[in-house]
Chains A and B, each alone.
Chain A
Amino acid sequence: MTRPQPGSPLPSPLPRPAEELETLRRVWRPPGGLAIVTAVNNNIIGLFYIGTALLFFVMAGLLALAMRAQLAVPGNDLLDHGTYNQFFTVHGTGMMFLFAVPMVEAIGVFLLPAMLAARDLPFPRLSAFAFWAYFFGGIAFFCSLLFDAAPDGGWFMYPPLTGARFSPGINADFWLLGIGFIEISAIAGAIEIVVGILRTRPPGMSLDKLPVYGWAMLVMAGMIIFAFPAVIVATLLLEVERVFAWPFFQAELGGDPLLWQHLFWFFGHPEVYIIFLPAAGLVSMMVPTIAQHPLIGHRLIVLALVGTGFFSFGLWVHHMFATGIPSLSLSFFSAASMAVAVPAGIQVFSWIATLGRGRVRMSVPALFVLGFLFIFVLGGLTGVMVAAVPFDWQAHDSYFVVAHLHYVLIGGMVFPMFAAIYYWWPMVNGRLLSKRLGTAAFWLMFGGFNLAFFPMHLTGLRGMPRRVYTYPPDLGWDWLNLASTVGAFVFAAGVLAVLADIARSVLGHGERASPNPWRAGTLEWLPNEYFATRSIPRVSSLYPLWDAPDLPRQVEAGGHFLPGAPTRRRETIVTSPVEARPQYLMPMPGPHWGPFLAGLFTAAHFLMLTVQLYTLSIVPGVLAIAMVFWWLWELDKGEDFPPQDIGGGIRVPVYVQGPRSHSWWAMAVLLLVDGTAFACLLFTYLFLWTVSPDVWPAGPAALPAIWRLAAGLALWAAAAGAMAWASRALAQDRHWRMRLGMLLGLVLAGAAMATDVTAQVSTGLRGSDSAYGATVSMLLAYQSFHLAVTVLMAGYTLARSAAGRLAARRRVTFDNTMLFWQYTCAQGTAMLLVLHLFPRLTG
């Protein structure tokens, strides 16, 4: 790569050739008609995502209105208790899993590339697949209500209530399988966001110049990576217990229902911040514009975001204060729960200081931001109250908690979201939403919200438990509930006003917006098309549009980096993660049927599993995998073009492999997810040993012979070695040796797995016998799953080799397979050491 030439005022000389812009528009043109479902560009997928999340918000909201109607008066019989149970479960689940998390990711998919002046996120087809899986899965989940098959165990699905004994039928399975696989979409989105933020920033946007929203999304994605595996493992364990009777949560066989609570809340509390931090990031982008003043305390806010991300993993037990955990342990979590208010306070004070120092221009986004500040601070204060153990024991499972969580979640996420819709809507269709309708919507929502939820504090303090479908009169709850119901409908009217405003704008009404209607300072307000900006700007400050007023004209004229499409296909600049120096030109995939069909078949596979059509479910499962391979096949093109000039005298390659490749990064992030899930399984093993040592083997006599451990370790090591040998062979372009190495490695890995399984079977171990048997069997099953994935990836890699699509200088596919392969061997080794040595050391 060559360096920029000094003295050049702009990276690309002006004027640009006329055909450059035409080519850019041609290669980025979205598909039309029915083929729109094959679109992968973030501008389209982002809007699909946002629209679908809003749809689920409305559907879950309608359930809330039905529940509020039921509770309006005592002794009401509008809903029976069974229906009410389904409604509150689907309401909570839908709001948390199908609205809030997807919405924050959706806004990121839509906004981040524009904010980073990247042409798209790095894995557009992965984004599209994640969206379609979420779309079909979410629709199926809501449809379960129509068949009286919706889950009814509450959004946190505590066993033993949700176990096979107390929840027979498929209602709970809809939650476990339906939500479990939708979380895979969230993880796919997180990988996309991490790699996008770290590798596709514009030249010059070093980490210190990353907008706060970028930091917020980075922290959020990091939290998804470490939090979501816990809930995926939890759902897996409960589903396996329901289907195969492996007693993870059954106390009489050594299991423990508290295991579910630990795993669920290890995800569940960070989940609150996964929702809140991106919203806070949006606020941190809007506040400077509203005040026309740079954000005060930018660095402190970044520190607060990262600190919140860490501290939020030390809070999960504050949902379990009433479970009998030792008081000192409770105190640790109580202390951490109070401490997390500090970083939140830093952000609040920073926003207030910025608004105070600037010249605030009242607008609809400003109203929603102010409403957010008021409501969120109240929710935060009640959060500190329930962080105190004695108070929590009084308020536990009462309407006080319902009030608190809605103040935090609606205040902390929904109000910023509506502010964001009004603020960034001009990026959707070039029009401003109505100020009059927006103002009316805000006051309806703000007034309605406080009328609905403030009285719930009092209802809770007067003893009303949450989740009751009705209540007797004369307990002092009547008028409070009636007020809450009226407030809920007023709030809904506000939401309806926003939807009407959006519909009005989509139909072509409303004031046309100028290119930068709010006079913002950040890159998303540069002139934009489907390919983001005409040229990718050189960035030298946090507010480039304020510091370089001529930047929009320069960028639109093509004066900055990559003003065209030099390889005549979709591409964007990959930059270094710290200093954002151009590294290479990444080719980006275009529209394809694969992601849509893979999403559809994935949803069909899990739906069939849910309704217990196990054999038939194999068909869509296989088809989903085939669709993924189909869309992948044409990628990993190798260095099919010479290095390209991207402007500023910089020539970059169009292909890199190894640790600099964005693909390597994505696999590394995926392995972090995978490793966390494995750690959760190890936690399961250790936790159940802690509570039920009596079901663990008493000594070496009850364990597999030690030579089986040695054999297993040797085989996993040999499998890893064979892959390393294959890697060296590929580096020398010795293809037959490479194939031989992979095939030999697969045989060795298969032998290792067989050795591990037979070792445990030789002791007479069965998964249904005890919590020990269940845990060991689960670890083996998890490792077998990894081996199966390794076989699939290896088969795909070998197929590419046979087709001549693999070489020493075209080996990204091989490297991905190798990373996963070596991880699988390492995981197998760790599993063996735990299964064989831990009981010997403690027995």
Chain B
Amino acid sequence: MTERSFVPFLLEMLAPFLVWGAHFGAVYGINGIACARGLDAGASGPVGIAPASLAILGVSAAALVAVGWLLVRALRRAQAGRQHRAEGGSPGRDAVDFARWFAAAGAGAALIAVLWVTLPVLQVPACA
């Protein structure tokens, strides 16, 4: 049996959290620069969606797609693992099963976290 390579294994487990981190850094960065440079003009309505906030929503949508894809992928792999085990499977796959469960659960958590962090864009003025 070949030894499992660590870096891809780790990346599979952590990918949802990495997407969350990239999303968080991006939305804060966009908002910070937009406010420092006065790019929040063009807001309209009682709260107003500034162009920078629209950009944040776009980044958030991309992050949600990415995390959603990771979630579906992890669930499919976990399902395949369960099927493999039910059919007798090969021994020594505990770590793989664990990683797949972890990736799926992490993707679920990251999905909620991205939504939760994005929510204020719809409620709070960008640079007040």
Which chain A residues have a beta carbon within 8 Å of chain B's beta carbons? 198, 206-209, 299-300, 302-303, 306-307, 310-311, 313-314, 317, 325-329, 331-336, 339, 576-579, 581, 690-691
Q: Give the residue among A328, A329, A576, A690 with the most B Cβ atoms within 10 A.
A: A328
> Shortest Cβ distance from B55 into chain A, in angstroms?
12
Determine whether the beta carbon of B17 is less than 8 Å from that of A306: yes
Which B residue sits closest to A199, measured CB to CB? B6
Which of these, A327, A335, A581, contacts B117 with CB under 8 Å? A335
Which A residue sits closest to B13, measured CB to CB? A306
Chain B residues near A327: list those with CB within 8 A.
Answer: 124-125, 127-128
Cα distance A336–B4 when bound, in Å? 34
Stretch at the interface among B21-29, B61-69, B71-79, B81-89: B21-29
The contact sample of 14 A-B pairs, CB cut-off 8 A, is: A306-B14, A306-B102, A307-B17, A311-B113, A326-B128, A328-B53, A328-B125, A328-B128, A329-B35, A334-B120, A335-B116, A335-B117, A578-B4, A579-B4
Chain B residues near A303: list those with CB within 8 A.
Answer: 102, 105-106, 109
Known: A306-B17, A310-B20. 6 other contacts (CB 8 A): A303-B106, A307-B17, A331-B124, A332-B31, A339-B113, A581-B3
Which B residue sits closest to A575, measured CB to CB? B3
Cα distance A578–B95 when bound, in Å? 7
Cα distance A576–B4 when bound, in Å? 8
- Sorted nearest first, the 4 A-B pairs with minimum C-beta distance are A331-B120, A208-B98, A206-B95, A310-B17
Determine whether the beta carbon of A208 is less than 8 Å from that of B106: no
Chain A residues near B97: list those with CB within 8 A.
Answer: 208
Give B40-62 as 1s and 0s: 1 = Cβ < 8 Å from A's Cβ atoms. Answer: 00000000000001000000000
Chain B residues near A334: list those with CB within 8 A.
Answer: 120
> Shortest Cβ distance from A261 into chain B, in angstroms?
13
Cα distance A334–B120 when bound, in Å? 10
Cα distance A300–B104 when bound, in Å? 12
Determine whether the beta carbon of A207 is less than 8 Å from that of B98: yes
> Shortest Cβ distance from B14 into chain A, in angstroms?
7
> Shortest Cβ distance from A398 into chain B, in angstroms?
25
Which A residue sits closest to B40, measured CB to CB? A326
Interface residues on B, range: 35 or more
Cα distance A311–B109 when bound, in Å? 11
Let me know if B121 is at the binding interface, CB within 8 A. yes
Those of B87-126 within 8 Å (CB) of chain A: 92, 94-95, 97-99, 101-102, 105-106, 109, 113, 116-117, 119-121, 123-126
Chain A residues near B20: list those with CB within 8 A.
Answer: 310-311
Determine whether the beta carbon of B117 is less than 8 Å from that of A690: no
Cα distance A335–B122 when bound, in Å? 13
Chain B residues near A198: list those with CB within 8 A.
Answer: 6
Cα distance A344–B97 when bound, in Å? 25
Cα distance A206–B28 when bound, in Å? 38
Given A332-B117, A578-B4: A207 in contact with B99 (beta carbons within 8 A):
yes
Which of these, B37, B98, B116, contacts A299 with CB under 8 Å? B98
Which B residue sits closest to A317, measured CB to CB? B28
Chain B residues near A306: list those with CB within 8 A.
Answer: 13-14, 17, 102, 106
Determine whether the beta carbon of B36 is less than 8 Å from that of A690: yes
Determine whether the beta carbon of B3 is less than 8 Å from that of A576: yes
Given A306-B17, A307-B17: A329 in contact with B32 (beta carbons within 8 A):
yes
Chain A residues near B35: list those with CB within 8 A.
Answer: 326, 329
Given A303-B109, A335-B116, A339-B117: A326 in contact with B98 (beta carbons within 8 A):
no
> Shortest Cβ distance from A449 into chain B, in angstroms?
33
Determine whether the beta carbon of B6 is less than 8 Å from that of A577: yes
Chain B residues near A299: list those with CB within 8 A.
Answer: 98, 101-102, 105
> Shortest Cβ distance from A189 into chain B, in angstroms?
21
Determine whether the beta carbon of A208 is less than 8 Å from that of B94: yes
Chain B residues near A209: list those with CB within 8 A.
Answer: 94
Determine whether the beta carbon of A314 is less than 8 Å from that of B21: yes
Cα distance A303–B103 when bound, in Å? 9
Chain B residues near A206: list those with CB within 8 A.
Answer: 92, 94-95, 98
Determine whether the beta carbon of A328 is less than 8 Å from that of B31: yes
Chain B residues near A307: list those with CB within 8 A.
Answer: 17, 106, 109
Which B residue sits closest to A687, measured CB to CB? B32
> Shortest Cβ distance from A368 into chain B, in angstroms?
30
Given A313-B21, A576-B3, A577-B6: A328 in contact with B98 (beta carbons within 8 A):
no
Chain A residues near B99: list those with CB within 8 A.
Answer: 207
Which B residue sits closest to A346, measured CB to CB? B109
Q: Give the residue among A311, A325, A329, A576 with the most B Cβ atoms within 10 A.
A: A329
Which A residue sits closest to B97, measured CB to CB? A208
Chain A residues near B14: list those with CB within 8 A.
Answer: 306
> Shortest Cβ distance from A327 into chain B, in angstroms?
5
Chain A residues near B102: list those with CB within 8 A.
Answer: 299, 302-303, 306
Given A303-B105, A326-B32, A329-B32: A579 in contact with B119 (beta carbons within 8 A):
no
Chain B residues near A579: list those with CB within 8 A.
Answer: 3-4, 92, 95
